[in-house]
Amino acid sequence: MSITKFTIAAMGVCGLLALLPGAVHADEDEETEDLPFEDLHVALVTGEGFQSAEAMMPLAFLTNRGAKVTVVGVEPGKVKAYDNDVHLLVHVAAREADADEFDALVLPGGHAPSVIRGNEAVVDFVRRMYEAGKPVAAICHGPQVLITAGVVADRTMTCYADVAEELTAAGATYEDKPVVRDGDMITSRLPKDIPQWLAAMETLFAEHHED
């Protein structure tokens, strides 16, 4: 991606972050105590065809608060968004990722979930994160990976409308709301819900980070 396109994308992320409560902005007077997630290690699981805003905005949001975000996928290397020319680097293959090293899980949407849910190592990693009681934040098509992992039964969730039937068939209760929280899981529907999704994510992750 060209520098110009990257700059435009980054400006979009920063613009959204500025609207969120508790946003951290660069300031020479700020100190590390303003980074509430300094010791938080988050796994962002995605792949080819991710939705750019749903992946890049939580990446920026969490990093801006001091978290270490590792992108986990099928194989290390660059993957491309389906909706523009944004690329994202997958740092580690799911088969090499240790769920014990992470504190939280983020599942962006787009076309990627339908691709990565077919990879046994990705599904196993997500299942292990869930079973370990790590907080989970998924949006749009992201819950498809949770469906394949077999962890949505008896959960109250939301998702992209086209996934709702599959979600309920897997035993979940679907609610058409911008954000739905059920215990240690938060889900959202669409890119327009991202500000509320990130605010809920911050609250959920902070609760676990303080434990």
Q: 141 catalytic, yes or no?
A: yes
DSSP secondary structure string for all residues of 179-193:
EEEETTEEEE-SGGG
- Break the chain into its structural domains and give their ranges: 35-209
Q: Which of 11-20, 125-134, 187-196 has the lowest mean pLDDT?
A: 11-20
d(CA 92, CA 77): 8
pLDDT at residue 33 in the model: 56
Q: What is the fold of 35-209?
A: Rossmann fold (3.40.50)
Digit-coded pLDDT (tens) for 153-189? 999 999 999 999 999 999 999 999 999 999 999 999 9
Global pTM reads 0.86
Exactly one of 87, 111, 141, 208 is catalytic; name it.
Answer: 141
d(CA 50, CA 127): 20
Digit-coded pLDDT (tens) for 62-120? 999 999 999 999 999 999 999 999 999 999 999 999 999 999 999 999 999 999 999 99
SS3 24: coil
